[in-house]
Amino acid sequence: MLEILELALRYTYHARNEDEETVKRYIEQDIEYFDDIKAREVAMTVAEQIRQSGVSVLIQKQLSKRFGIISTLLEQKLRNSRLDILDQFGESIFDFKDLNDAEKWWETHGNQ
């Protein structure tokens, strides 16, 4: 049952034309109707993953616009990082002079 719920939420996210924040709000509103604690946890996890994905893509676009092509390794780090790490990295982008600074940031902060 929970697997079906997760698939339905992910389908909703990918099938809708709205931006990620709007779809996340829909999911969060629908969570209120779930009586099952596990169902709420699944819905919250999917909503959080949607937000993480959006933040990751935004940061990748910012880096590409500022510095050009970014490495596959850096893309993977951004895709696989927790939101708190992505938020810290996103704030630090303005301090980077080049992509080497971004890579150095991950060496000192990325494994928190």
User: Each residue of 12-22: pLDDT tens digit?
Assistant: 665 556 676 77
CA quadruple 16, 24, 70, 78: dihedral positive or negative? Answer: negative
Residue 36: phi and psi, rounded to 5, are -80, 125
Question: How many Cα atoms are found within 13 Å in the side-chain-facing hemisphere of 64?
Answer: 11
Query: What is the Cα–Cα distance from 30 to 15, expressed in whole angstroms?
Result: 17
> Is residue 83 a contact partner of residue 55, using CB atoms and an 8 Å limit?
yes
pLDDT tens per residue across span 19-33: 767 766 777 776 677
Residues of the chain with pLDDT under 70: 1-18, 20, 23-24, 30-31, 34-35, 111-112
> Is residue 110 a contact partner of residue 85, using CB atoms and an 8 Å limit?
yes
